[in-house]
Amino acid sequence: MKPKKKALTIIISIILVICLFPVRLMLKDGGTVIYAAVLYKVIVWKQIMPIEEENETSTGYRTGTDFYIFPFNLGDKEWRE
């Protein structure tokens, strides 16, 4: 019985390690990068956005970092202020 338990433990460990490796996705919104794995998601925001000031319009960036763990990492995420 011990060899089966040991094999099962090794297989489960390998599956968990694979679930921790992220895939890097780059968005074309100014430099936002998403690191997505099965168990978590990290979003490093850098969105180009217009800044409206008195009689002047220029371009600025929204920046920030969000971290989501399973099951909240599923689905699309939008910028929150």
CB 68 within 8 A of CB 80: no
CB count within 10 Å of CB 25 equals 12
* Predicted pLDDT at 63: 79
* Predicted pLDDT at 55: 54
- Predicted TM-score of the model (pTM): 0.66
Identify the bridge partners of residue 57 per DSSP, sorted by sequence position. Answer: 52
* Predicted pLDDT at 81: 47
* Predicted pLDDT at 14: 92
How many angstroms separate the CA atoms of 17 and 8, rounded? 14
pLDDT tens digit at each of 81 positions of the chain: 588 899 999 999 999 888 888 899 888 877 889 898 888 889 888 877 766 665 555 567 777 888 888 877 776 666 554
Structure tokens at 37: 């794995």
* Predicted pLDDT at 54: 58
The structural domains of the chain, with segments of one domain joined by +, span: 22-75
CB count within 10 Å of CB 36 equals 15
Structure tokens at 38: 């099965």
